[in-house]
Each structure stands twice: as C-alpha cells, then as structure tokens.
Structure 1
Amino acid sequence: MKTLCWIADDAVWKHWNQVVSVGASLVRVETLDEVYQALETTESGFQYCFIYLEDKSFSKQVEEVVALCAAFPKQKVIVFPNQTNQAAALRLFSVGVSGQCAPYIGKEQLSLVLSVVDSGEIWGGKAFIQQLIMQSSAPAEIHNDELDDLSERELNVAQHVAKGLSNKQIALEMDITERTVKAHLTSIFKKTHTKDRLALALLAQTRYAVR
C-alpha cells in the first residue's frame, strides 16, 4: 500500500507511521503544490491520499481538497480533520472524498476504514452518519431564499465556488478579472449571510445540487 500524506504536523505524522499496516509505504508532502506534483506523476500509483486538516486554515483547506478531488476524481482521498464540522464533512463527501477519520485513529480502526473504502463505500464514522440522518429529515429549502437577492453574475460566481473553482479559475470561466470576482464574493457573502467559501458552497449546493 503506497499512500500520499499531505500533513505538516509532526506528531500526527509520527502516529500515522505507527498505525499503518506492515509493509505500507507513506510518502509525506507539506504543501498543496507538492500534492499535485506527486499525483500528476503517472508512475506514482498512490492507493490513498491522506490529508490532515488543520484548525488554522480549515475552511481554506477544505476547498483545496474539493479542487483536488475535481482534478483527480479516481484518487481515493481520506481526510483527518482536527475539528468536528458536519458542514465541511457534507461538502467533502459530496465531491467524492472516500472517508473522514480522527487524526489519532487506532491501528485496527484504520484497517477497518481502508477495507470499507476499498469496497467502494465511504467511511464517515457513527457520529457523522447519525447527524446526516437527522439533517436529511430537515426541510431542504431552509436556506434557499438567501440566494434570491443575488444578481445573475453573482449566482454564476456562487455556482463556480460550489464546484471548487479558485478565484483565478472563476475569472477565466466568466471572462472577468480576479478583482471583479473578489468584489462579487464580498457582495455575495453579505447578501447570503455566509462567512466564507465553504458556507457559500454548501448553500449553493443545496439550491442547485452542484457536483
């Protein structure tokens, strides 16, 4: 088993090396660019990509994982968030992340997670599944009206954000400048009462089922 690990935390990295199965090969990278470089190398053949989500850049990193899944849709990605965030979990599973685990997962538990992922299923943990069931019974349109005040251009930007596109990519898609994209986002955040790209992406996904 060859696994690419995007992680900057030395303690968690040490733990992962202790709980992986005998014979497993973990390759560590610490930046997003290094992740792309590693996965773009055809001979790399990584079975999994482990990603540790830090508190200090959590929302930003979630969106980077969304973009990563779009770029490498066949790659099995398992995230290890350092905080409980059901909205982020839903966002990540909706774009194809295979599993979510605690950073300091036990050896037997990790083995179980990987066997579930290998079978084509997703692993979210008991707490997440229970929360998902509770949310599925809630009204689907609960926040949809918050998008009604957006202009056509702003709605377009929101949909691109939901797909995981960066400001630069949105600018290219819409043939506008990055500065204009930022201006649209400032207006969108205010009108929709969202605080960041993650919250906006979830709102847009609820309305338009963007995948």
Structure 2
Amino acid sequence: MKILCLNTDDAVWKHWCQTVDTDANLVRTLTMPDLYRAVENAPSSFRYCFVYLEDEGFSQQVEEVVALRSVFSQLKIIVFPNQSSQSAALRLFSAGISGQCAPYIGKEQLSLVLSVVDSGEIWGGKAFIQKLIQQSAVTAPSFESELEDLSERELTVAQLIAKGLTNKQIAIEMNITERTVKAHLTSVFKKTNTKDRLSLALLAQSRHTML
C-alpha cells in the first residue's frame, strides 16, 4: 500500500512513519508541485494522499488542496491541519476530501480512519459536515446580499475561486490577464467584506447551494 504524502514537518513525518501499518509505503514530497508530479507519473499507484497543513500560509494551503482535489478527483485525500478551523474544514469537505485528522493521530485511530475512507465514507461523517454547514450559516447569514453588488465578471471570478482555480487558471478560463484577475479580486474582497480566498470561496459556495 503506497501513500503519497505532502509533509514539511520532520517531527510529524517521523510520527506518520511510526503510525502507519508495516505494509504501508509512505512517499514523501515537500512541495505541492512535487506532489502533482508524483501523481502524474503514477496516477493509480497511490491508495491515499496525506497532506499536512502547517500554520504558515494555512489558508493558501487549504486552497491548494481544493485545487488538487479538482485535478485528481480519484485521490483519497486526508488532511492533517496543525490548527483548528471550522471554515477550512467546511471548505475542504465541500470540495470532496475524504477526511481530516490531527497530525499526531494514534495508530489505532488512523487504521479506523483508513477503513472508513476505504468503505467510501468520509471520516467525520455526514452529521459532522452538516453541523459545519449549519454553524457557517449562523455566523454568516447574509451571503446572498453580500454578492449582489458584484458585477457579472466579479461574480464569475468568485465562482471560479470556489472551484479552487488559481489566478492563472482563472485568467485562461475568462480570457483575461492575471493582472485583471487580481484587480477583480481586490474589488470582490472589498465588496463582500472577505479577507482571503478561503472566505470568498465559502461565500460563493453558499450562494450556489441556495440557488
């Protein structure tokens, strides 16, 4: 059993190596581009993909995992965030990841997680995800009104952000320059009172759900 890993923390990596079953082969990558190359070179070789989310650049890493999931939909991705974030969990589960665990998860619990994921279920369960969605709705009830002031192009940018696309990918999709994408994003952040791509993506996802 081969498990592709993105892990930049040596202590967490050592723990993973000691926690997985003896028949597991962990393949470590240190950057997202390296992980992409590993999947592209052997698309059917990896049974799971473990991604450690460190504190620095946390929101950006969440969006990178969303993009990874959109490109490689067959990957069973399990994230191991180093911080607790309700919005990040909602974003990741909405994008279709298979589970979320603590970085220093125990051996027996990890075995249970993988068993659940193997069965086609999501670690955390549907009730957990529904609770996240309900809590998000309570903390941000005015999603629809916050998007009403966006122009058609700005709304398109927000929707593509929700799909996990990068600025470059959005530029290609909309046939505009990356500079124009950034200008649209600056305007969108201001009009929607969002501060980053993660909060904007949740906003756009909520609108899509209500339509």
**TM-score of the aligned structures, taking structure 2 as reference length:** 0.93
Kindly tell me: are residues 21 and 73 of structure 1, through their superposed partners in 2, closer, same or farther at Cα, counting changes over 3 Å? Answer: same
Q: RMSD between aligned alpha carbons? A: 2.3
State the 1:196 CA deviation: 0.2
State the 1:144 CA deviation: 1.6
Aligned 8 A contact 2:170 2:181 in 1: yes
Deviates more, 1:39-48 or 1:51-60: 39-48
State the SS of the aligned residue for 1:190: helix
State the SS of the aligned residue for 2:79: strand
Partner of 1:122: 122
Aligned 8 A contact 1:100 1:125 in 2: no
State the SS of the aligned residue for 1:209: helix
Partner of 1:135: 135
- The one-character-per-residue Cα deviations of 1:51-88 (angstroms, maximum 9, x if unpaired) are 00011011001110011001100110000000111111
Partner of 2:204: 204
- The one-character-per-residue Cα deviations of 1:82-134 (angstroms, maximum 9, x if unpaired) are 01111111111111100000000000000000000000000138995584275
Distance, in Å, in 2 between the alignment partners of 1:59 and 1:138 is 21
Kindly tell me: are residues 7 and 189 of structure 1, through their superposed partners in 2, closer, same or farther at Cα, counting changes over 3 Å? Answer: same
Matches within 5 A, 1:19-30: 19-30=19-30
Aligned 8 A contact 1:20 1:110 in 2: yes
Partner of 1:191: 191
Matches within 5 A, 1:29-108: 29-42=29-42, 45-108=45-108
Structure 1 alignment gaps of length 5 or more: none
Distance, in Å, in 1 between the alignment partners of 2:75 and 2:85 is 23
Distance, in Å, in 1 between the alignment partners of 2:33 and 2:175 is 25
**TM-score of the aligned structures, taking structure 1 as reference length:** 0.93
Structure 2 alignment gaps of length 5 or more: none
Kindly tell me: are residues 104 and 146 of structure 1, through their superposed partners in 2, closer, same or farther at Cα, counting changes over 3 Å? Answer: same
Bigger share in helix? 2
Aligned 8 A contact 1:162 1:200 in 2: yes
Kindly tell me: are residues 174 and 74 of structure 1, through their superposed partners in 2, closer, same or farther at Cα, counting changes over 3 Å? Answer: same
Identity rate of aligned residues, in percent? Answer: 70
Number of aligned residue pairs: give it: 210
